Amino acid sequence: MSITKNLNHLYRNISNDIVVVAVSKTKPNEDILEAYNSGHKSFGENKVQELIEKHNALPKDIEWHFIGHLQRNKVKNIIKFIHLIHSVDSYKLLNEINKRAKNENRVVDCLIQVKIATEENKYGFNFEEIDDVINFSKNLKHINVKGFMGMSTLTNDNNIINNEFSKLQNIFKNYKSKTLNILSMGMSNDYNLAIENGSNMIRLGSIIFGKRN
Ligand SMILES: *Cc1c(COP(=O)(O)O)cnc(C)c1O
C-alpha cells in the first residue's frame, strides 16, 4: 500500500479529534513529501541531526514533533522551529529548554514523558514525581506544559499495555485543563488500546511508512 492509502485508511478508522503524528525517522524526504502532499502536516523525529536536515529541506509549514531522548546540548539546534517536544524527562532538560526558548523569545510547547513501562531503560519521570514536575514547570515562563507522553512495554500481552496506558490516563485526568490537554500515547502496534484509554495524540511510524530497516 502507498503512504497516501495508509493515511486515508487510518483516518477513516479513527475519530477526527485524534492528532496523528507521522513518525518519519529513518525515512527519506520523498516519503514525507508524499504524506505532506496528501494533506498531512505533523511529523515526528527522534534524532536532532536528522530532524534538522529534514526541516531544512522540506516545506516550512510542517509541524515537527520531537519524540526521542533529547540531549541538553542539542536543544539550541531545534528551539527555533520545534512544534512540540514529547520527551521532556528531566529537570535539567526543562531548564535548558526554558533558557533557549527565552533567547528566541518564544514559549515552547512540551509534554512530560512518564515512565509507564516496567522495562529498565525507558526514559521518563516516575508517577510520584509528576506533581513536583508540574509545579516546577509553572515557574518556567518559556515552557508550556501541554500534557503527557508515555510508551508502553514492548509485549504482545494487551493486559500489560492496557494497564500501563490506563495509569497514565488517570494522571492526565488529574491535571487536565484548557491548556494541559494532550495525552500522547500509542504507536503502530498499540494505538487502538491507547485511544481506548483516552489518548488524543498517536505517534505512528511503520503503519504509515512501512517497516524501518
Ligand atoms: C519510533 C517511534 C514511534 C513509532 O513507532 P512505530 O511502531 O513505527 O509506529 C513512536 N514513538 C516513539 C517515541 C518512537 O521512537
**Does 23 sit in the ligand 1 pocket, CB within 6 Å?**
yes
Taking each helix axis from N to C end, the angle separating 29-37 and 48-57, rounded to the nearest 10 degrees, works out to 60
Q: Probe ligand 1: pick from 51, 187, 212, 213, max atoms within 8 Å of CB?
A: 187
Say how far apart CA 113 and CA 147 lie, in whole Å.
Answer: 9
Q: Probe ligand 1: pick from 19, 20, 23, 183, max atoms within 8 Å of CB?
A: 23
Burial of 67 (0-12, 13-18, 19+ CB in 10 A): buried
φ/ψ of residue 134, rounded to 5 = -65, -45
Nearest CA to 96 among 114, 77, 83? 77
**Does 204 sit in the ligand 1 pocket, CB within 6 Å?**
yes
Task: State which amino acid sits at residue 35.
Answer: A
CA 13 to each of CA 35, 104, 198: distance values in angstroms, whole numbers, following the listed order:
17, 39, 16
| Smallest CA separation from ligand 1 atom 5, residue | 205
Atom of ligand 1 nearest to the CA of 87: 13
- pLDDT at res. 149: 98
pLDDT (average), residues 184-204 = 98
Task: State which amino acid sits at residue 6.
Answer: N
Q: Note whether 212 and 203 are within 8 A (CB).
A: no
Q: Residue 121's pLDDT band (boundaries 50, 70, 90)?
A: low
Distance 44 CA to ligand 1 centre (A): 9
| Smallest CA separation from ligand 1 atom 7, residue | 188
Cα atoms in the 13 Å half-sphere on the side-chain side of 139: 6
State the DSSP H helix or E strand holding residue 146, giving kind and residue range, or none if neither: strand 143-150
Q: Residue 64's pLDDT band (boundaries 50, 70, 90)?
A: very high
pLDDT (average), residues 48-56 = 98
Radius of gyration of the chain (CA): 17
φ/ψ of residue 185, rounded to 5 = -145, 145
Q: How do beta strands 63-66 and 42-45 pair?
A: parallel
- pLDDT at res. 118: 83
Atom of ligand 1 nearest to the CA of 67: 13
**Does 47 sit in the ligand 1 pocket, CB within 6 Å?**
no
**Does 205 sit in the ligand 1 pocket, CB within 6 Å?**
yes
pLDDT (average), residues 81-90 = 98
The DSSP 8-state label assigned to residue 111 in this structure reads E
Q: Residue 106's pLDDT band (boundaries 50, 70, 90)?
A: very high
Q: Residue 213's pLDDT band (boundaries 50, 70, 90)?
A: confident
Nearest CA to 213 among 58, 28, 46, 79? 28
Q: What is the rounded average pLDDT for all residues in the chain? A: 97
Q: Is 51 a residue whose pLDDT tops 90?
A: yes
Q: Residue 58's pLDDT band (boundaries 50, 70, 90)?
A: very high
